[in-house]
Structure 1
Amino acid sequence: MKFQIEPKDNIFYIRLHGKLVAGPETQKMMEEVDMLINEPVLLCAVDLSDVKFMDSSGMGVLVSLLTKFRNRGGELVLIKPSDHIRKLLIVTKLNAIFTIAENDNFAAQFLKESNF
């Protein structure tokens, strides 16, 4: 997996590419988020549009990210998960805890209107 973290308009955009599974890159991303989350930014949008595979450890990563932001009074949104990832979220009932946005604009609008 490859990732990019882009701060923009008080939102961290995490762009994931490849397979969302446990590994050194996933650990590196979580460490970077831990360092950045101490900033005043409490909103996050995770772009899953280029993630074609996710296993249970990948689901754990998403839940962990959501928990990190919510524990600090923030929020997290998933952007445009593929059909396969959407099905996994439904089967695991994680779709009940994550908000899904179709693009960056909808993600930003939801996050800013949530008053977090």
Structure 2
Amino acid sequence: MNPVFKVIQPAGILDSAKGSEFRQEIGEIVENGTNIVLIDFQDVTFMDSSGLGALVLGLKTVRAAGGKLFICSINEQVRMLFELTSMDRVFQIFPNRDEFANAIGSLS
């Protein structure tokens, strides 16, 4: 079975309002057979604890379906949030999409 890859690129502020949409989008792509999900944070300016909660629930959804979730292009605020909550140990974070592509290519 070939892996099905999808990129989700949220934008702006990832809070409780956007978090539920974000979770729903992850659920839908997993239901459609995607098993490798890349969340590209390039356009996210701020993320609060509810956005982080939505991301964790998204990770659980992807893992429950046997898939993998990766993150790239986080800004300094998001990086600090990940480090303060130790989520940088839970998520595999890449500096950008190119680094992700290189790593995934070397994994297959």
Q: TM-score, normalised by structure 1?
A: 0.79
Deviations 1:11-31 (CA, angstroms, capped at 9, x unpaired): 1101011001011x4323322
Return 5+ residue gaps in structure 1 as ranges: 1-8
Q: Determine the C-alpha separation between the residues in 2 that align with 1:10 and 1:109.
A: 17
Q: Which residue of 68, 85, 88 maps to 2:78?
A: 85
- Where in structure 2 are the equivalents of 1:33-112 lying within 5 Å? 33-111=26-104
Secondary structure at the residue paired with 1:81?
Answer: coil
Asked if structure 1 preserves the Cα contact closer than 8 Å seen for 2:10 and 2:22, the reply is: no
Runs of 4+ more than 6 Å apart: none
- Residues paired across the two proteins, number: 106
Distance in 1, Cα, partners of 2:7 & 2:54: 15
Amino acid at match of 1:14: I
CA distance in 2, matches of 1:114, 1:65: 23
Cα displacement (A) at 1:109: 4.1
Structure 2 match to 1:19? 13
What SS does the corresponding residue of 2:61 show, helix, strand or coil? helix
CA shift in 2, pair 1:17/1:90, >3 Å: same
**What letter corresponds to residue 47 of structure 2 in structure 1?**
M
Structure having the larger proportion of residues in helix: 2
Secondary structure at the counterpart of residue 73 of structure 1: coil
Which fold has the larger relative contact order, with Cα–Cα distance below 8 Å and residues 6 or more apart in sequence?
2
**Percent identity over the alignment?**
26
